[in-house]
A and B are shown apart, each in its own frame.
Chain A
Amino acid sequence: MKEILSGNEAVARGAYEGGLHFACAYPGTPSTEILENMTKYKEIHSHWSVNEKTSLETALGASFGGMRALVAMKHVGLNVAADPLFSAGYIGAKGALVIITADDPGMHSSQNEQDNRNYARAAKIPMLEPSDSQEAKDFTKIALKISEEFDTPVLIRLTTRISHSKSIVEFAERENVEVKGYEKNVKKNLVMPAHARALHKKVEERLLKLKEFSNDFKYNTIEYKNKNIGIITSGISYQYVKESMPDASVLKISLSWPLPDRIIKEFADNVERLYVVEENDPFIETEVKAMGIKITGKEIIPIVGELNPRIVKESFNAVEKYKLKETMEKAPGRPPALCPGCPHTSVFHAINKLKLIATGDIGCYTLGALPPLSAMDTCVDMGASITNALGLEYSLKGRDKRKIVAVIGDSTFYHSGITGLIDLVYNKGTSTVIILDNSITAMTGHQDNPGTGKTLMGEDSPKFDLERLIKGLGIEHVYSVDSYNLEEVANLIKRETERSAPSVIIARRPCILLPEMKKKKFDKYEIDENKCTGCQMCVKLGCPAISFDKEKKKALINKSLCVGCSLCFQVCKFGAIKKVQGE
């Protein structure tokens, strides 16, 4: 059977065919759909973890018990999981342990462009790099085998253009594998210094064996054509090279750590000039140069941003540089924005009005940093809002009278906010933390989390009580508020930021895009043009349903976009916004 699958769907299919028992992940673009698709296969237990560290540790636990386990995350997620990653490298894998990292060259939805091939080298763990969906499926199965054969975790590196591109995939049957069962083995599974010293030796021996395996690996392939130019490449870059340099000889690297040194040497000996085409870091390039082989890479191939066939072709001077058309009228930017009726809007409106310093976090609500709300000062990594606020508080004390709020979403709070909040209490911080609780992990497309009371497989689970949790951490002042009540939100933020004790405000409303919210019928709002003075207070909410007619000097509400949140009605001082019956 053949189907068109995305790289992420193909990984899930490969995991199924390869006899996987256990999969977990914390959602993160571009990796999210791997676990979402895993639920198609009832033979696999799959669940959402609270963060990438707990996720990898859980998968390792399943592997201890002899299950074939897989964990998926976006590239920056592996930073969170780096601690267990390095230990897992020493421990190895009783049941297979496959770790998917979905990198994001071009930063389509990420804060950096880190190249996680570096983690394979640093943690001494083998890494596979598929170049299309078929390989994403096949390599997942191969990774499960390598893991058990060599007693090692295996990394698979996807990139956005592998994860979110679709191509044709041939299916196979599932291989049924027994769970091996648990046996106590402290010398292997308990990495205290005495054990780890012995394990490190084994890791180095394992790497040498894997290098031999890499040299014999049938997916590390040489395609000789014109021998004047030889290009070493891997992953999606392979496709760009084949498309743009059809006459060149190509060495396709599929097992990119450890690199197949003999094949590389053979290829280098047989071509006149040797090049490497790889996205982001000069990973292969550095290794090849260390082998004493002359190779051209980042001298011609950009290190910043993702590649495409045109960039590759232009880099080889095989085509003239493309000149963009000079149009008289330019297309205005279309940045993503908080949705009409987004419950986060009121909080950012208040922060802007109160001129607070807002340390921000990662989620849809990072969009609150954009004009006209412009209500976020910093965004660093998951959970950083709270601890950034704590540090900033120390530097401002006695020097700057401005107040600080930390803004964090519910899912991000569960991910990494709780430890930060303990830190804030312990170290006598007095900042106010606002938790934007929209009852879902929204940015990545609505995944359940500990606050929703549902698991990935649709089972009921204990629904977390945020207030109780926070009070338990020693914070006395915990208040919740309906996000749609603009005045109450603003008053509460004002009151709590003035308090010289730590406080938490939970601004609560389900995400407007949730299916159950979409089904509800709301009254809509419209502008009474006779009363509208053109003051633009409503426009400053940044609601995509509201626009301003510069000629008429009147605001306008797009009724097909309005969801009736009433924020504009509340903000209008002239009674120029009125309710109309919902359709």
Chain B
Amino acid sequence: MNTKIIIAGVGGQGILLASDILCEVAMKAGFDTKKSEVHGMSQRGGDVVSHVIFGEKVYSPLISYNEADVILSFEQVEALRNLDYLKDGGVMIINDIRILPVPVASGMADYPKDAVGEVKKFVKNTIVLDAESMAKELGNVKVMNVILLGVMAKQVKIIKKEIWIEALKANVPPKTIDVNIKAFEKGYDFS
């Protein structure tokens, strides 16, 4: 069976880079892998979703409803938006921050009062963390994404932690390797 993971968030949050790293890790672990996303609007505050699949042989680069093993959402409401893609028994990881869409900011729509609570009603395995604050504790807010990848890595037991560490070392600026590894471990040990 293939492993199917969705990474969701808001344009500018680094969703595409995070899914690139996941893909590379999957290939290093010896799997066939594909990913799919839509470019173009990613820099302009729209929602961004990346589908990543790996396993013995991957055909479709797209994940369908009720299929994802893990959804990693970089923002509260994006978890709610992608809820239908999570399979029964799947794991939802939510970064506990709110980024207001323009219609909400300008008063034309409402942000859900309890998006996380709403997701929890449907998903038993919901992991919620404030990775932004955790990154600030490490002194570098940019490692938020790596903390979130760490949380996800723990849920994807089929790939060894060492492969992740290697891939991270290859993908982050040399000066920031230490803080990134720390961030990854912090995420990995969170749940």
The answer on a CB contact under 8 Å between B33 and A29 is no
The residue that B101 contacts in the complex, of A165, A167, A333, with Cβ under 8 A, is A333
Cα of A330 to Cα of B83 in the assembled complex, Å: 11
- Contacts A108-B38, A165-B61, A331-B115 aside, 13 further interface pairs with beta carbons under 8 A come to A29-B40, A108-B41, A165-B35, A166-B61, A309-B64, A325-B84, A332-B110, A332-B112, A333-B101, A336-B46, A364-B44, A372-B108, A547-B104
Q: What's the tally of chain A residues with a CB closer than 8 Å to chain B?
A: 59
Residue of B nearest to A314 (CB): B64
Residue of B nearest to A29 (CB): B40
Stretch at the interface among B74-82, B142-150, B154-162, B173-181: B74-82
Cα of A108 to Cα of B62 in the assembled complex, Å: 15
The residue that A327 contacts in the complex, of B58, B78, B101, B118, with Cβ under 8 A, is B118
Residue of A nearest to B104 (CB): A332
Residues of B within 8 A of A167 (CB): 32-35, 58, 61
Cα of A313 to Cα of B39 in the assembled complex, Å: 27
The answer on a CB contact under 8 Å between B40 and A108 is yes
Q: Does A282 contact B (CB under 8 A)?
A: no
Q: Does A308 contact B (CB under 8 A)?
A: yes
Number of A-B residue pairs having CB atoms within 8 Å of each other in the complex:
172
Interface string of A33-64 (1 = CB under 8 A from B): 10000000000000000000000000000000
A308-B62, A332-B101 are known contacts. Are A4 and B33 too (CB-CB below 8 A)? yes
The residue that B38 contacts in the complex, of A164, A324, A547, with Cβ under 8 A, is A164
Residues of A within 8 A of B66 (CB): 322
Cα of A164 to Cα of B33 in the assembled complex, Å: 14
Cα of A539 to Cα of B107 in the assembled complex, Å: 9
Q: What 10 A-B pairs have minimum CB-CB distances, sorted nearest first?
A: A310-B64, A547-B105, A329-B112, A336-B46, A336-B44, A165-B61, A331-B81, A109-B40, A243-B60, A334-B101
Q: Does A337 contact B (CB under 8 A)?
A: yes
Chain B residues numbered 36-78 whose CB sits less than 8 Å from any CB in chain A: 36-41, 43-47, 58-62, 64-67, 77-78
Q: Does A582 contact B (CB under 8 A)?
A: no
- Chain B, interface size category, equals 35 or more
A367-B44, A372-B106 are known contacts. Are A239 and B101 too (CB-CB below 8 A)? no
The residue that A161 contacts in the complex, of B36, B111, B112, with Cβ under 8 A, is B36
Residue of B nearest to A109 (CB): B40
- Name the distance in Å between A59's Cβ and chain B's nearest Cβ: 24
Q: Does B17 contact A (CB under 8 A)?
A: no
Residue of B nearest to A322 (CB): B65
Q: Does A242 contact B (CB under 8 A)?
A: yes
The answer on a CB contact under 8 Å between B105 and A544 is yes
The answer on a CB contact under 8 Å between B65 and A4 is no
A residues neighboring B (CB under 8 Å): 2, 4, 29-30, 33, 108-109, 132, 160-161, 164-168, 236, 239-240, 242-244, 308-310, 313, 322, 324-325, 327-339, 364, 367, 370-372, 443-445, 513, 536, 539-540, 542, 544, 546-548, 550
- Name the distance in Å between B76's Cβ and chain A's nearest Cβ: 9
Q: List 17 A-B contacts (CB under 8 A).
A: A2-B27, A4-B23, A4-B33, A108-B41, A164-B39, A166-B34, A168-B32, A309-B59, A332-B111, A334-B46, A334-B81, A334-B102, A336-B11, A337-B46, A337-B102, A443-B40, A513-B43
Cα of A13 to Cα of B153 in the assembled complex, Å: 32
The answer on a CB contact under 8 Å between A371 and B33 is no
Chain B residues numbered 81-131 whose CB sits less than 8 Å from any CB in chain A: 81, 83-84, 100-115, 118, 121-122
The answer on a CB contact under 8 Å between A166 and B35 is yes
A544-B45, A547-B105, A548-B107 are known contacts. Are A165 and B36 too (CB-CB below 8 A)? yes
B residues neighboring A (CB under 8 Å): 10-11, 20, 23-24, 27, 32-41, 43-47, 58-62, 64-67, 77-78, 80-81, 83-84, 100-115, 118, 121-122
Residues of B within 8 A of A330 (CB): 80, 112
- Name the distance in Å between A453's Cβ and chain B's nearest Cβ: 23
Cα of A415 to Cα of B157 in the assembled complex, Å: 51
- Name the distance in Å between A175's Cβ and chain B's nearest Cβ: 27
- Name the distance in Å between A476's Cβ and chain B's nearest Cβ: 37
Residues of A within 8 A of B84 (CB): 322, 324-325
The answer on a CB contact under 8 Å between B81 and A239 is no
Residues of A within 8 A of B80 (CB): 327, 329-331
The answer on a CB contact under 8 Å between A164 and B37 is yes
- Name the distance in Å between A306's Cβ and chain B's nearest Cβ: 9
The answer on a CB contact under 8 Å between B47 and A109 is no
In this complex, the member of A30, A240, A243, A548 whose beta carbon has the largest number of chain B beta carbons within 10 angstroms is: A243
The answer on a CB contact under 8 Å between B118 and A445 is no
Cα of A503 to Cα of B108 in the assembled complex, Å: 36
Residues of B within 8 A of A513 (CB): 43
Residues of B within 8 A of A550 (CB): 107
- Name the distance in Å between A268's Cβ and chain B's nearest Cβ: 24
Cα of A570 to Cα of B134 in the assembled complex, Å: 38
- Name the distance in Å between A161's Cβ and chain B's nearest Cβ: 6
Residue of A nearest to B122 (CB): A325
The answer on a CB contact under 8 Å between B39 and A30 is yes
Cα of A328 to Cα of B108 in the assembled complex, Å: 19
A310-B64, A547-B106 are known contacts. Are A444 and B40 too (CB-CB below 8 A)? yes
The answer on a CB contact under 8 Å between A338 and B47 is no
In this complex, the member of A166, A168, A330 whose beta carbon has the largest number of chain B beta carbons within 10 angstroms is: A166
Residues of B within 8 A of A548 (CB): 105-107
- Name the distance in Å between A340's Cβ and chain B's nearest Cβ: 9
